Amino acid sequence: MPTLMQYVKRLLDKIDDQAAYAAPFEKRYSNEYVLPFLQKEYAEVYPGLIIASADGRTVDTLINGTLSQLEVPKSGTAGIVVDALGERMMLGGISATDNDAATKKLQAAWEDNDLDVMHHEAHREALIAARSFGSIARETGSGGRAVVGIEHASQAAVIRRQSAPYDVIAYLKTWTDEWTGDGAGLLRLVGKDYTLAESDEMRQDPNGSDVVSRWYVVDEDGTDTGLDFVPVVEFAPHSRLLKEPISEIAPITTQVDTVDLVEGLMVFAGHFGVVPIRWASGIEVPRDPKDPSKPLLGPDGKPAIGFNPRADHTWVSTNKDTKFGQLEPAGLASFVTWAEHASAKVRAKTALASTYFSLDLKSHMSAELLKTDEAPMTRRVRRMGQFGSLNQSWRRLGQYILAIEDPSVKTRIKPIWEDPETRIESQSVDQFQKLTAAGLGIAETAEKVLGWDPETIQRAVAEAEAMRQKIRQEKREDTLSPMERATREFLNVA
């Protein structure tokens, strides 16, 4: 049986490995990564960093070998891919399939812990860093409700059982105290939670192992959780049984960098090839008054010829032999083709819909064509979420919530996944009308087809029933004779 510090050492190593793995993908997702090649080229072509005053005027330029006056283009393609998949992995809560009381508890925990917001964070961080975590604890005090926190892979790690059911048997979360700057942590084992702290000096494991660490257990007795499991789940989009989960950005890193490269080179092409180059001959160059053999130099150190090549400036010369001309500009068509090819490779790897990369508003894509375009992406989202490892993690989180709040309840847990397809309202309404006309229940059809919540369905059904009763009443009154109608009105008034 490992000692507490052996668990801590193993988990700290995993946190370090996870943080190192996620770092380059985090920079690409945040659009902070710059290709070294482009950074060097831009520093040579557009050297220096402009230093401006408070009112925006250029007051100086810092010249060195790495800074550029023009920021290197970054396409943000990695962020587009992650956000596109993440926005389709939406949950509406967690339910118990055969227990209404348990469903109410789960929905209350879902809302109380802001999981309607935080489940997006869990999915996004898992797509970027290959994993994220959900930690559940019992609220201190008399409430006893389940408190859920979503944790990042650079701060948390788990050890799993190596045989079915592959439960988490150890969990570590580390952080830095914002007031003292000291390291702190929480080690969770089956039935126990242990508070950790980080000292300034290395310490030997008091339980006799060979582990030496600055981290130490504050209270060796720990805190009893009253649980026979570690209430932690790992959100990781597994695609292989024996392979570690990978970042969604990992398979497309080369393609993402290629898109950035094309964007960067396109600026050069546009500046030096597409922008018309104007020329002049036979012009008089002002001479330096101190040395007429030399041209007069401008502030930039170049001869002051008196002409600005910008398109909004006119060139005029009093010399009749002066000639002006313009070189034929090149085009960017080849770069556009290259960029589209790189984006197509990203689409092929990620199965994203074309609308995330280019949207031609003149094409007026029909609803059926839109669904066809999205079909590979929606299948992949379902395979990762509703029918994948993420669904397993949310189901287990729901089980842990009930085990903490009401241990006597034994029921099956079902995460409620939203439809990842783009909603076409007219099609949904048409489908609803046809299904209810065929005899299906209004409430069940409204929930499945229209996606309404139970409260809205209940109000709509009650309003529809009241309307039907009013129509039936009016029809019955239309069949009354004038004498019967007058008698009824008289009795109602009386």
pLDDT, one tens digit per residue, over 437-464 is 777 777 777 777 777 777 787 787 788 7
Same domain, 450 and 484: yes
What pLDDT is attached to residue 309? 65
Number of structural domains (the chain) is 4
The whole-number pLDDT of residue 45 equals: 81
User: Which H or E element spans position 313?
Assistant: none
Whether pLDDT at 116 is above 70? yes
Whether residue 232 is found in the same domain as residue 180: yes
Residues 310, 350, single domain; the answer is: no
Q: CA 152 to CA 135: how far, in whole Å? A: 11
Q: How far apart are CA 467 and CA 476, in angstroms?
A: 14
Please give the pLDDT value at position 437: 78
Q: Which residue has the higher pLDDT, 150 or 474?
A: 150
At CA 93, angle to CA 87 and CA 99, rounded to 5?
Answer: 155
Q: Are strands 287-288 and 146-152 parallel, antiparallel or unpaired?
A: unpaired
Task: For residues 93 and 222, state if they share a domain.
Answer: yes
Query: What does the radius of gyration of the chain's CA atoms come to, in whole angstroms?
Result: 34
Dist. CA 350–CA 86, nearest whole Å:
12
User: What integer pLDDT is reported at residue 491 of this predicted model?
Assistant: 61
pLDDT per position as a tens digit, 93-107: 999 988 989 999 999
Q: Report the alpha-carbon distance of residue 268 to residue 274 in Å, rounded.
A: 9
Same domain? For 173 and 312 the reply is: no
- Same domain, yes or no, for 444 and 474? yes
Mean pLDDT, residues 327-350:
84
Q: In this structure, what DSSP letter does residue 24 have?
A: H
Q: Are residues 477 and 409 in the same domain?
A: no
Average pLDDT value for the chain: 85
Q: Do 407 and 452 share a structural domain?
A: no
Are 7 and 43 in the same domain? no
Domain range for 52: 36-71
Pick 372 or 256 by higher pLDDT: 256
Residue 86 has pLDDT above 90, yes or no: yes
More confident position, 296 or 4: 4
My answer on whether 431 and 390 are in the same domain is no
pTM score of the predicted model: 0.79
Q: How many CB atoms lie within 10 A of CB 264?
A: 20
User: Domain check: are 115 and 223 in the same one?
Assistant: yes
Residue 84: predicted pLDDT: 94
Instruction: Please identify, among 422, 445, 465, the residue that sits at the C-terminal boundary of a domain.
Output: 422
Predicted local confidence at residue 435, as pLDDT: 77
Q: Are strands 212-217 and 223-224 parallel, antiparallel or unpaired?
A: unpaired
pLDDT greater than 90 at residue 68: no
Pair (126, 147) in one structural domain: yes
Can you tell me the mean pLDDT for 293-310? 75
Over residues 234-252, mean pLDDT: 91
Looking at the predicted structure, is the pLDDT value of residue 21 above 50? yes
